[in-house]
Structure 1
Amino acid sequence: MNVLANPLSMFEVKGQVAMITGASGAFGMVAARVLAGAGCKLVLVAGNQDALDEIAQECRGMGAEVTAINKRPSHEDTCDGLVASAVEAYGRLDILVVASGMNKVALINEMEPETFEAVMDANVTQSWLLARAAAGQMKAQGEGGKIVLVSSARGLLGHPAGYTAYCASKAAVDGLTKALGCELGPTGITVNAIAPTVFRSPLTAWMFGDDEKAKTVREGFLARVPKGRLGEPEDLAGPLLFLASKASDFYTGHILYADGGYTAG
């Protein structure tokens, strides 16, 4: 097939098996909905049972086959087991989206070392463990694969209000993405990251409000955003489908900023 004559075929992922960790979080839910709508078979992983059940049921209502696993990818054995569960359910694993992670905000002299280590573990070590487990399976299949990590604009930019752990962890995710992109490129496995700025979610809903605090914070932030608005969930949908599909086969080790131009200025 000439893909240039049928360019939409490059974005076809129907029937592929996708595992999403942090599936009950803001980005994870976007990923679940997008890949369910695109026809993937899903393995949804999250630590919040109620929220996991809700997004799993929603995806099933969209016609997707869904396996829901109530776990956090906190240890090597757990991550290996999650990949094994995907293979047991569907026979293979084609796409991994690591949307799990955490943030703890505190000024450096007010943050305990244990808190810093917890953020680094959730955002960096667990991403490494999941990529390691998924890459092993994808290599064994011999058909390549797609690994999508979640970074942040804060991996590139600092923040004055207690983000030392978060910024450091996301900068490390960027480095991990580039290193894995180089290492796994010869196997046909691509590794890329999506790096959002502020987008609408339960955690950021207050920034979209009409009270004075929200307006002040929002206007200060938007002064740096060329597009002149905050992000919406659908702003993450296109980049995710691109990175999960054949359309991105020649792209690896990239950080794709979904930020309305925030990091460009």
Structure 2
Amino acid sequence: MSETFLKNPLSLFDVRGKTAIVTGASGAFGALAAQVLAGAGANVVIAAGKADELKKTAADCEALGAKVESIALRPSSEANCEKIVKAAVDTFGRLDILVVGSGKNDVSKIVDMAPERFLDVMDANVTQSWLMARAAGKQMLAQGKDGKTSGKIVLMSSARGLLGHPAGYTAYCASKSAVDGITKALGCEWGDTGITVNAIAPTVFRSALTAWMYEDTDKAKDVRKGFLSRVPKGRLGEPSDLAGPLLFLASAASDFYTGHILYADGGYTAG
């Protein structure tokens, strides 16, 4: 341990002046990730397909004092991913952090789901994560000097990458298991480069899509009762429950962590 570290342990979490890309920045997790990194002092490049909603995320990040660059693209092709990375380098000179917050779900029993719908979920969650990690990793490796390369890649997994679900989650569960596989494989592949690759795997947390589960209605109470019987912490997740894990994985505090799936689930996967 260095003397500097002992005098200021919080310096391990310092991302001031770092450049971060966040994809899916118009969605619940992506917007949160962008604001957490912005509030911590990083320069933020936000990407999403919904230009209007991207403007709101940009404004929220700028209100926190961050320098922000927006690009209305999804990481849906090699060319798009390279454009997103180029936007970061052209604007801020380098790339230090990638957070892949983009993705989707499509709930359906397998016998009712057309193969095209399954493949669409796999593309959004798996292929796009792979493409974005590839583009960012190429840039991070190219930035290395004197054998010293660094970079933080954070993918978005789910407790459903580990556990099944009875309500038509074959596409989603398969996609998140694949994201876990990418995380572990890249953690090994880039293990000696200074680039870390990890994933956050939440269970239900408050967002526009899940807001109904937090309501004081009979339906919401019934759903919560069954779900919370499996959650040792006894409550559903809040956005703030993802903020700490994200900052940890995006900063030097996690330098010895790679290929790791961090379950932000209140103990759901432990029981």
What is aligned with 1:45? 47
- 1:34 CA drift (Å): 0.5
Which of 232, 240, 264 in structure 2 is aligned with 1:258?
A: 264
Which of 165, 168, 173 in structure 2 is aligned with 1:159?
A: 165
Percent of matched pairs sharing the same residue: 71
Paired with 1:184 and 1:118, the residues of 2 have a C-alpha distance of: 28
Paired with 2:59 and 2:7, the residues of 1 have a C-alpha distance of: 37
Paired with 2:13 and 2:224, the residues of 1 have a C-alpha distance of: 34
Mark the runs of 5 or more structure 2 residues left unpaired by the alignment.
none
Alignment of 1:241-256 (within 5 A): 241-256=247-262
- TM-score of the two chains, using structure 1 as the length reference: 0.99
Which of 28, 31, 38 in structure 1 is aligned with 2:30?
A: 28
Which of 188, 195, 208 in structure 1 is aligned with 2:214?
A: 208
Alignment of 1:1-265 (within 5 A): 1-142=3-144, 143-265=149-271
Cα shift readout 1:6-25 (whole Å, capped 9, x = no counterpart): 11000000000000000011
Paired with 1:77 and 1:34, the residues of 2 have a C-alpha distance of: 28
- TM-score of the two chains, using structure 2 as the length reference: 0.97
- 1:51 CA drift (Å): 1.0
SS at match of 1:242: helix
Mark the runs of 5 or more structure 1 residues left unpaired by the alignment.
none
CA RMSD between the two structures: 0.7
Cα shift readout 1:156-190 (whole Å, capped 9, x = no counterpart): 00000100000000000001000000001111000
For residue 116 of structure 1, what is the amino acid of its counterpart? F
Q: After TM superposition, which residue ranges in structure 1, 4 or more long, deviate above 3 angstroms? A: none
For residue 153 of structure 2, what is the amino acid of its counterpart? I
SS at match of 2:5: coil
SS at match of 1:178: helix
